[in-house]
Each structure stands twice: as C-alpha cells, then as structure tokens.
Amino acid sequence: MKKNKNTNVDKKINKHDKGQIFVKVTAGVLAILMVGGTAITLVYALM
C-alpha cells in the first residue's frame, strides 16, 4: 500500500510541476511583451 500511495503522490507532483512550468513560461512571455511594448512606446515618444 505504501508503494501505491507514493506512486500516486509522484504522479500528482509531476502534473503539478508541468502546470507550474506552463504558468512560468506564460508569465515570462507576457513579461517580455510588456517590456517590449514599453520600450517601443518610449522610442516612438522620444522620436
């Protein structure tokens, strides 16, 4: 029974890790877009 419980916990942790990776990648892409948009806005504003 202990092996089964550990296997279930491991599967849940793996799914949670994949979700965390997806959230971090999405947050990174959005952060890059925000910084890029701000930089482009400043460049056009100062021209």
**In 3D, which of 25, 27, 28, 46 has the Cα closest to residue 38?**
46
Residue 11 lies in a domain: no
Residue 5 lies in a domain: no
> Per residue in 35-47, is it b (16+ CB within 10 Å) or e — as a string?
eeeeeeeeeeeee
Per-residue model confidence (pLDDT) at position 44: 94
Q: Cα separation of 28 and 16, whole Å?
A: 18
pTM for this one? 0.57
Supply the range of the domain harboring residue 30: 22-47
Residue 28 lies in a domain: yes
Residue 32 lies in a domain: yes
Residue 30 lies in a domain: yes
**In 3D, which of 24, 28, 27, 47 has the Cα closest to residue 39?**
47
pLDDT in tens, 1-47: 555 555 555 666 566 688 899 999 999 999 999 999 999 999 999 98
Task: Name the domain count of the chain.
Answer: 1
